Structure 1
Amino acid sequence: MTVAVRGVGVDTVDIGAFAASLAEPGTRFTTAFSPTERRQCRERAEARGAVHDAQPAGVEVSGPRSSSSSSGRSTHLVRHLAARWAAKEAVVKAWSAALYGSAPPISPDLLVWSEIETVCDAWGRPAVRLGGEAARQVAATVGEGVRWHVSLSHDGDAALAFVVLEGPMAG
């Protein structure tokens, strides 16, 4: 079996606009991140000096707390969440590139964003982990045993993710 790059996706997120979206009541970002993503973002933010109780409104990181999303104390958390949102978008773009010429297997309005996770190992290196219907549909459309390569960055007012989908080529 030949394995090759099947798709590439990149996405950038304006951190200020993302923070404003997080603060909106009923925001879709309330359910967009898995518990693991929220925990890892909180831990990374805390390691960079953010106070323990800082979090954007609408995104529960580890239980109910209140804080303003515009607070400087929550900046680190928002930056990490923004990079993970960019990764989710980049995963969808890489997968879509692999399916060029075919209809999307999941309607965009039915995609469960928390099924596309960016998780880090003990050394902070990111990886993509799929679950639920997203995982089933990637396996059905691209093949079993796909590999995702992801790089995250945030600088100034922007967060960025770059994703490469590697998988089997049709024989």
Structure 2
Amino acid sequence: MIGVDLVDVPGFAEQLDDTASGFVEHTFTAQERRTAKGDPRRLAARFAAKEAFVKAWSGSRRGQPPLLAQIDLRHIEVVDDGYGRPGLRLHGPVADAVGPVVTHLSLSHDGHAAIAFVILERA
């Protein structure tokens, strides 16, 4: 299955500025925050990746009830390999519910937009 998500970077940056909401801490792992270095474009692309993964996973279950009532987006982690290429690492209830899968991730940001594509394959 394929999932895609597009994020408006200026609007997303406004969410990031609302530190009282805890949005950043409830959405991104400590490693994701370190890797993004506070850059709203990089965080927006990572958020898009998490949303694109959920869409791909949801699409693979078309006609079936959701396996999880709620998803902690920190359990869908965007990681880089040793060469800076992005990938996904699943944790906790998300990893358990999804089962063995292979994920492919592409991220991009330009101007006011950040986008992510996820391909999800059964392992």
Both proteins in one fold, TM over 0.5: yes
The answer to whether residue 87 in structure 2 is matched with residue 127 in structure 1 is: yes
Match of 2:110 in 1: 155
| CA deviation string 1:111-167 (max 9, x = no partner) | 11100011001211001100011100101xxxx2x1000000000000000000011
Cα distance in 2 for partners of 1:93, 1:82 equals 16
Q: After the TM superposition, which residues 110-149 of structure 1 pair with which residues of structure 2 at under 5 Å, given as runs?
A: 110-139=70-99, 144=100, 146-149=101-104
* TM-score, normalising length: structure 2: 0.94
Residue 97 (structure 1) aligned with residue 59 (structure 2):
yes
User: Are residue 164 (structure 1) and residue 119 (structure 2) matched?
Assistant: yes
Deviation at 1:28, TM superposition (A): 2.6
TM-score by length of structure 1 reads 0.69
CA-to-aligned-CA distance 1:50-97 (integer Å, 9 cap, x gap): xxxxx4xxxxxxxxxxxxxxxxxxxxx111000000000000000011
Measure how far apart 1:27 and its partner are.
Answer: 4.0
Q: Following superposition, which runs of at least 4 residues in structure 1 exceed 3 angstroms of deviation?
A: none
Contact residue 21 and residue 27 of structure 1 kept, 8 A: no
Aligned length: 122
Instruction: Tell me what 1:62 maps to.
Output: none
**Runs of 5+ consecutive residues of structure 1 not aligned to the other structure:** 1-6, 43-54, 56-76
**Bigger Rg, which one:** 1
SS in 2 for 1:31: helix
The RMSD of aligned alpha carbons is: 1.1
**Aligned counterpart in structure 1 of residue 26 of structure 2, from 22, 25, 31:** 31
**Per-residue CA shift, 1:34-55, capped at 9, x if unaligned?**
111111112xxxxxxxxxxxx4
Q: Give percent identity, aligned residues only.
A: 46
2:4 to 2, 5, 10: 10
